[in-house]
Structure 1
Amino acid sequence: MSDAILGQVALGYSPFIDRNRAVTATRLTVFPLDPEATLDAAQLLHAVGSVWPVDGARVSLNIASESLLRDVLAAQPATNLMIEIPAFMAGDAQYLEAIAALHGRGSVLLIKGRPLKELPREVLPCFKFSIIELADDRRLTDTAKPPAGVSRTIAHVQSGVSSVADMEASFNRGAAAVLGWPIDDVLTGAASDGRKAGQTDLQVIVELINRVDKQEPIEKLEGTLKRDPSLAFKLMRYINSPAFGLSVEISSFRHAIMMLGYQRLKRWLALLLATASKDTNLRPVMFAAVRRGMLMEELVRSGGDDEMRNEMFICGVFSLLDRMFRQPFSELMRTIPVPERVYQALVDGSGPYQPYIELVRAVEAESLYDFREAADKLMMSVTEINRAELRALTAAAQLD
């Protein structure tokens, strides 16, 4: 099937995070580049299904086009695809039959936005969640309580969450999940468990990265890794994941070095460093770091060499270490060796990799304006970017 639609839309993504701080689903936002264009719903569903098959993880489609969403509803999407429906469409009689049919087939529907008028009584049971923007949440004020005799029957998902504090407050107000990237916290103070993130059990990984960077003998590397058996297990699990694409199983750290070489091993130690924190609240940040690394690598898949792809991966994975360690990059990079181009992007906000970081941020922010601006700076086509996004999301899903 043609994937022409990937040149007609801009894609953004963000996570659904539950009370355990686990990422339970991905939101895929679809912006038409030309609001007047007729888009093919079957092509969109085919592209989405290539990343999230029927028996795979959940994805929530947030389609910023009434006509495309109407066609998706009529196409009877797979039941693992959650569908977000704006409140104005939920209250429109012409869509009631399609909404009821999807609900009857087992699709999870989410109503988005505040209805301007009372919704038909028969449509309310079709929605499992309502999506409430943080800035519009009436629960933030004393008048948030519903009138006497009225109860809220639809669980709510809080959108627009951008910090750990927002996330915790949303759950305290009763949110079933939050939708957004809680990565905008100020870089001061201790981690939520009372310790600085840099003083947790991450020293072994930093030491390994330094030793690999110096290409020290395998025996020394093995000796360092043996100090943390759980770390060794996690590293082996990553390397043997489908995302890595090896044809043989890696059975030991020595075997990993022989098969991978020092440079490729360094990228997976970088991934390990970005996902090793034991702070529960940082799980969504670690999730974001993995996807950043995957996406930045895929963005240069066709035009970069192996060295550039590895550096882009490390740049993306490390781009949130300042949030995890609660230290500025200028301090962090004194102890963690990184290539010069990665250092420029993270510490100085400059260099050839910085525009790619801006593009990734635009994708995460689900901002069409920023997406267009970043794509223009890189002189990349929308089709290239969207394909890279879908490849990255596929690879990242294989690691989860």
Structure 2
Amino acid sequence: MSDAILGQVALGYSPFIDRNRAVTATRLTVFPLRPDAALDAAQLLQAVAGVWPADGARVSLNVASESLLQDLLKAEPSTNVMIEVPAFMAGDPANIEALQALHRQGNTMLLKGRPLQALPREVLPCFKYSIIELSDDRRIAEGSQSPSGAPRTIPHVQSGVSSVADMEASFNRGAAAVLGWPIDDVVATAMAGGKPAGQTDLQVIVELINRVDKQEPIERLEATLKRDPSLAFKLMRYINSPAFGLSVEISSFRHAIMMLGYQRLKRWLALLLATAGKDSNLKPVMFAAVRRGLFMEELVRGSGDDEMRNEMFICGVFSLLDRMFRQPFADLLRTIPVPQRVYQALVDGTGPYQPYFELVKSVESESLFDFSAAADTLMMSVSEINRAELRALTSAAQLD
């Protein structure tokens, strides 16, 4: 089947985060590039199934095209595919039969936006959650209660969350999950608590990265890693994941160096560094960092050499280390060796990697305007970007 739809839409993504700060699902936002385009629901579901197969993780489709969404409601997506339905469509009697059919099939549906009038009684049980935008939540001014004091009819997911403070407040108001990237003020919030949790672990990995950068003997590297066996285990798990694509299993750190070499090993130490923190509020930040690295690498898979791909991966993975270490990049990268082009992007906001970095952030923010501007700057086709994004999300799912 053709995947022409990947050239007709812009894709964005964001996480569903539960009270334990675990990422429980991914939202895939689909923007049509032309309002009058005829989009194929079957092609969209095929592309989605390539990343989230029927027996895989959950994905929520946020489709900004009424006609495409109407077609999706009449299709038969696998039950791990959740559908977000705007309130105006949920209240339309013409959609009752399709919504009920999806509900019977076992698909989770989320009501998006505040209904202007009561939904048909037949429809309300079809929705497991409502999605309430943070800026539109009337309970904020009233504490945990709604203005009328009445309980909400169905559990809600808070969207528009961009900070840890917003996330915690949403859970205190009863949100079942938050939807968004709470990374804006992680540094400031975490600094109030004193020394970052897991700092010792992070310093061990930084030391190891420095030793690998200097290509020190394997014995010295092994001695450093042995100071924290849990980190050694995690590194082996990453290297042996399907995302790495090795044909043989890596059995030891020494074996990893022999098989990979120092340069390729550095990228996986970067990944380890970005996911080694113990602060639960940083879990969504780690999640974002991994996907940034994989996405930036995929964006140059067809145009860059191995060195560029590895550097782009490190650039993305390191792009949130200032949050984890609670330090500005200019200070942080004095102790962590990075290539010059990575330093330019993270510290100076310049250099050849910066436009790719801006593209990744536009996808995370689910902004069609920023997506289009970044794509034009890079002179990349929309289909090329979407394919890179889906490959990155597939690799990320294999690492989780």
TM-score tier, shorter chain, comes to over 0.9
Q: Is the CA contact (8 Å cut-off) linking 1:240 and 1:246 kept in structure 2?
A: yes
Aligned partner of residue 201 in structure 1, secondary structure: helix
Amino acid at match of 1:287: F
TM superposition shift of 1:153: 2.4
Aligned partner of residue 324 in structure 1, secondary structure: helix
Q: Is the CA contact (8 Å cut-off) linking 1:190 and 1:197 kept in structure 2?
A: no
* Percent of residue pairs identical: 81
CA distance in 2, matches of 1:188, 1:200: 20
What do residues 146-193 of structure 1 show as CA deviations (whole Å, max 9, x unaligned)? 536x43220000000001111111001100000000111164475465
| Equivalent residue runs for 1:173-252 within 5 Å | 173-185=173-185, 187-188=187-188, 190-191=190-191, 193-196=193-196, 199-252=199-252
TM superposition shift of 1:215: 0.5
Q: Is the CA contact (8 Å cut-off) linking 2:198 and 2:276 kept in structure 1?
A: no
| Equivalent residue runs for 1:388-399 within 5 Å | 388-399=388-399
Q: Is the CA contact (8 Å cut-off) linking 1:197 and 1:325 kept in structure 2?
A: no
The more displaced of 226-235 and 137-146 is 137-146
| Corresponding residue number in structure 2 for 1:48 | 48
Aligned-residue RMSD, C-alpha: 1.3
Aligned partner of residue 140 in structure 1, secondary structure: coil
Name the TM-score, length of structure 2 as normaliser.
0.98
Name the TM-score, length of structure 1 as normaliser.
0.98
Amino acid at match of 1:177: A
| Corresponding residue number in structure 2 for 1:287 | 287
Structure 1 unaligned regions, length at least 5: none
2:60 aligned with 1:60, yes or no?
yes
Tell me: CA distance 1:188–1:109, structure 2 relative to 1, closer, same or farther (3 Å).
Answer: closer
Q: Is the CA contact (8 Å cut-off) linking 1:205 and 1:272 kept in structure 2?
A: yes
CA distance in 1, matches of 2:194, 2:131: 33
CA distance in 1, matches of 2:200, 2:377: 39
Structure 2 unaligned regions, length at least 5: none
2:159 aligned with 1:165, yes or no?
no
Q: Is the CA contact (8 Å cut-off) linking 1:192 and 1:279 kept in structure 2?
A: no
CA distance in 2, matches of 1:21, 1:191: 19
Amino acid at match of 1:322: D
Amino acid at match of 1:21: R
| Equivalent residue runs for 1:1-400 within 5 Å | 1-142=1-142, 144-145=145-146, 147=148, 150-185=150-185, 187-188=187-188, 190-191=190-191, 193-196=193-196, 199-400=199-400
Count residues with an aligned counterpart: 399
Amino acid at match of 1:264: R
What do residues 64-106 of structure 1 show as CA deviations (whole Å, max 9, x unaligned)? 0000000011112111100000000000011110000000111
Q: Is the CA contact (8 Å cut-off) linking 1:211 and 1:221 kept in structure 2?
A: yes
CA distance in 1, matches of 2:151, 2:167: 24
The more displaced of 137-146 and 202-211 is 137-146
Aligned partner of residue 131 in structure 1, secondary structure: strand
Q: Is the CA contact (8 Å cut-off) linking 1:60 and 1:83 kept in structure 2?
A: yes
